[in-house]
Amino acid sequence: MADQDPVFQIQRVYLKDLSLEQPNSPGILLEQDQPTVDIQLGVDAQPVTDGIFEVTVSATVQTKLGDRTVFLVEAKQAGIFEIRNLPEDQMGPILGIACPQIVYPYLRGNVADVIQRGGFPPVHLAEINFQAMFEQQQAQAAGQPSPILTQ
């Protein structure tokens, strides 16, 4: 019966993609205005093989002065998870909530680090409620109004 026991294991967490662009340097670095910051996050889950899934959390951080980019960071942090013998109705929450919660702290650290290494004060991504994000995505996919108020 051990073959039917539920399995949830982290196989690996890794940095899948990372880029930093400073298209208007060095001139824009001398300006004293406060830039605007736009942060976009996403989650994706793909099967790799039977019982093995890759979950990717991506972030795009763009700062601008007016219409000119100060810096742009695009990052994807991924994890490989072994998930077996779970009821089908639990797979969505596992892949959309539990796995991203494990991967996200690594993404936060890598984004803050690359921004700081680029010569800027680090931008620390806020904590994310992946359960609320998952429920919002489920409601949108079902064509229902979102249960969460957006800003």
- CB proximity list for 130: less than 8 A, separation 6 or greater: 43, 96, 97, 100, 101, 104
Instruction: Give residue 149's pLDDT.
Output: 45
Q: What pTM was computed for the model?
A: 0.85
pLDDT digit string (tens) for 127-140?
A: 999 999 888 888 88
- The vertex-128 CA angle with 75 and 115, nearest 5°, equals 35
Domains, the chain, in order of start with CATH, read 15-123 (3.10.420.10)
pLDDT digit string (tens) for 47-81?
A: 999 999 999 999 999 999 999 999 999 999 999 99
Do 120 and 29 contact (CB within 8 A), yes or no? Answer: no
Confidence of residue 150 (pLDDT cuts 50, 70, 90): very low
| First CA to last CA distance, the chain | 49
